[in-house]
Amino acid sequence: MGLKLNKNALSVLVFLAISVTAQCVTFDVSKLGGKPNSDITQVLAQAWQKACASPTSAKIVVPKSTYKVSRGNFLGPCKSPIEFQLDGILQAPSNPSGFKDGDGWITFQSINKLSVYGGGTFDGQGKASYGKHCTRLNYCSKLPINIRFNFVTNSAVKGITSLDSKQFHILVLGGENLSFKNVKVIAPEDSANTDGIHIGRSTNITITDSTIQTGDDCISVGDGTKKLTITKVTCGPGHGISVGSLGKYTNEAPVEGVTVSNCTFKNTQNGVRIKTWPDSHEGVASDLHFENLIMDNVGNPVLIDQEYCPWNQCKLQNPSRVKLSKVSFKNIKGTSSTPLAVKLVCSGGYPCKNVEVGGIDIKYNGKEGPIQSICKNVKPKVSGYMNPAACAH
């Protein structure tokens, strides 16, 4: 399936081309009193206030050095397009105290035509928190998210790195026409709940040419996500690219139109998966397509799991009430670290509809038995070569 630029995506590209080259009012934090290895929280806040109020395009520049930021809340709406050029390193406090549930360390909110770019790093300094604040029953919710984009529209993020976030690295909520390109996410494999990029309640989001190495989902897709395109992403270590989990909360909005293509997964716990809770609230997810993917030593390369129940805290006898339809897994090749390469486990109450699989060639060279696939409450349409054979177990 080829990628087609709609009018909204094209407008974002045009905005980027114009904003990066046009004359801007520039606010360089080093010229406003910000000193390397010092706290520039107030300097950044003042620079943002001036840039956001500018009647013409404005740019904030963080030059090549290391600066400390206790918290950055960059709020709009702004009068004109605004750029945030990060060439240096911004460091979060190593102590996570003082943050509430869902807080971001760096938050961009209610902004139209924002461009965040440069070769710099948002350093969450999360290593001291790993393994100390999270348990099976504690979601680490009071640990800050590295970068939040709340209600950001017609905008782009390019070339930045999120390092060692204490919780999610990047979270997008209520976004529209927002692109991520050449983004890097880096955290240890054992860092809990450090999803690389989480998308929720957002429309027309693109993620491309990016590398994500973390301890949870490389990319996770929450409810209300529509028209999400993920391409040329390298994932691993991590838990793969996931739609869900869905169905845990009431009034979740439908997920519609997710395409994951031309991505590579290396040593991940899963490849591409859709996960919904049993005994769930009602929900809908449709038009979910996964194609042209490479798996390198991946556990569960292809997975629908409507009995998702971490730590066995669920009532499995009550089926999921999330309806899945129009799902395809095509042209997926490589190696699995487990014998179960294709697992399609759908809801007993609402079986999956219009599922297609084809062109799958996955090998397993381990000692746990022959490679296999399983199907439950689904009758997929099969086309092309299949290894393992569809629903063979």
Distance CA 154, CA 79 (A): 14
Q: Which two tokens stand for residue 238?
A: 């991590």
> Residue 31 contacts by C-beta under 8 Å, 6 or more apart in sequence?
none
* Tokens 């390369």, located at residue: 301
- φ/ψ (deg, to 5) at 279: 50, 45
Is 239 tagged catalytic?
Answer: yes
Q: Which residues contact 241 (CB under 8 A, 6 or more apart)?
A: 217, 218, 219, 220, 230, 233, 235, 260, 263, 265, 271, 272, 273
Question: Contact, 148 vs 104, CB < 8 A?
Answer: yes
Say how far apart CA 61 and CA 47 lie, in whole Å: 9
| CA separation for the pair 229, 287 (Å, rounded) | 12
CB under 8 Å to 25, separation ≥6 — which residues? 51, 54, 56, 57, 58, 59
- Name the E strands within 7-56: 25-28
Nearest to 289 by CA among 1, 5, 4: 1
Distance CA 378, CA 383 (A): 16
Q: How far apart are CA 389 and CA 141, in angstroms?
A: 42
Report the half-sphere exposure of 355 (CA within 13 A, side-chain side): 23
Q: Which residue, 316, 384, 307, is CA-closest to 344?
A: 307
Kindly name the residue from 198, 239, 289, 393 that is annotated as catalytic.
239
Burial 344-372 (b: 16+ CB within 10 A, else e): bbbbeebbbeebebbebebebeeeeeebb
**Residue 76: closest CA among 58, 98, 103, 61:** 58
Q: Which of 234, 229, 240 is closest to 203 using CA atoms?
A: 229
Active site residues: 239
